[in-house]
Amino acid sequence: MPRPLRVAIVGSGPAGIYAADALLKSEVAADPGVSIDIFERMPAPFGLIRYGVAPDHPRIKGIITALHQVLDKPQIRLFGNVNYPTDVNLDDLRAFYDGVIFATGATADRDLKVPGFELDGSYGAADFVAWYDGHPDYPRTWPLEAEKVAVLGVGNVALDIARVLAKTADELLPTEIPPNVYEGLKTNKALEVHVFGRRGPAQAKFSPMELRELDHSPNIEVIVDPEDIDYDEGSIATRRGNKQADMVAKTLENWAIRDVGDRPHKLFLHFFESPSEILGEDGKVVGLRTERTALDGTGNVKGTGEFKDWDVQAVYRAVGYLSDQLPKLPWDIDSGTVPDQGGRVIQESGEHLQSTYVTGWIRRGPVGLIGHTKGDANETVANLLDDYANGRLQTPASPAPEAVDAFLAERNVRFTTWDGWYRLDAAEKAQGVPFGRERIKLVEREDMLRESGA
């Protein structure tokens, strides 16, 4: 009787779990069967959903329910707190699995190459998000002394940062934020938050719902300058062809024509302002210089040579995420992705790196919404299964599942399991009960490992 197809997935975020789901729904899952091991460097699963989404987004975090149902399947095992490549590398995985899928996402900040980016008070978006999401590998405190703050970027991450900075700590208290984040936000002095985009309203990458959520807080006054509402032929074409872009533009138009209210925290959305320099004094941020831009007819913009200095004491750079380079895999340094064809990892020679695949942001870069990674996963898995059907996968030396447990034990890797996640989940929910909160997230890695029974 043939043994099940053995597949390793590195990364337990949406991309990795969607790949596991696609495998389980394939014909191979019925005969001869599929056996999947998911390796995750954090003690807890869910990746971006747990450590990259703002805590006041229960709708997006609700995706965990669907992901949870996949990980509940008996064909899947979770190995948490296992780091690639220090605990396990590609050669190790090849010894145990027919195929390996990398779904490691993107967690670092893409560089914004403007003078002054290195100043004290200039922060990467990924670092701030990791702090307020309670990532165990980041500092427990965050400097929130600035009364006027700039956020560079017009994507959903920029909105998350602006919203967290503009809200009060008590507004965020009902969420799962840990105590150190709540105490830090209580010291936040920000009264003005300025979000800057170098193009116009039609080119903003906000999702309509996230944008409208800005206006739901009783403490945040959202302000749009009517002079920033402008469209050219390319912008009009974008609105006609993209329902979401049109909804975003309409929301911004409505905000631009209304009277400014008296909510205490002001959140300004600026368009046609391209950051040219972060201004400093004595090594600290004291301002931001932007160049006014103008539409060129195609939806793109050009500089006008008109500059403006903005009085801010902190700058958050939300201009995109970047994946970490994976050892033993080819790398495209410009895009920050692993070269691929249909999810198959492609070497410099143009040949497929046998039995090795990618999906999600490590494959195509950090673009699109969470659900978009499902299509990636389906394509990648389809090609893996095609290689399996046509005998192109390598044969592992030790395909028995227990060989992986023995290997990790020999390496003294203290790993967590899916049963361990149930224990950690229960512990976090129990922490919230006395305060009437759904959960309070554990931050310290050691606490997570202990509660998980690692």
Binding positions for FAD are: 15, 40, 48, 361, 368-370
* Residue among 181, 172, 107 nearest 144 (CA): 181
Q: How many CA atoms lie within 13 A of 166 on its CB side?
A: 30
The answer to whether the peptide bond before residue 32 is cis (omega within 30 degrees of 0) is yes
As annotated, the binding site includes 15, 40, 48, 198-199, 210, 361, 368-370
Question: Do residues 317 and 117 lie in contact, with contact meaning Cβ atoms separated by under 8 Å?
Answer: yes
Question: Do residues 146 and 190 lie in contact, with contact meaning Cβ atoms separated by under 8 Å?
Answer: yes
Angle at 54 between CA 53 and CA 55, to 5 degrees: 110
3-class DSSP assignment, residue 266: strand
The residues, any chain, with a CB within 8 Å of residue 139's CB and separated by 6 or more, are: 131
Question: Do residues 105 and 47 lie in contact, with contact meaning Cβ atoms separated by under 8 Å?
Answer: yes
Q: What is the CA radius of gyration of the chain?
A: 23
d(CA 329, CA 362): 11
d(CA 148, CA 258): 23
Angle at 166 between CA 165 and CA 169, to 5 degrees: 75
Determine how many CB atoms are found less than 10 A away from the CB of residue 434.
8
Residue 448 Ramachandran class (φ > 0 left, ψ -120 to 50 alpha, else beta): alpha
As annotated, the binding site for NADP(+) includes 198-199, 210, 368
* Residue among 83, 43, 95 nearest 427 (CA): 43
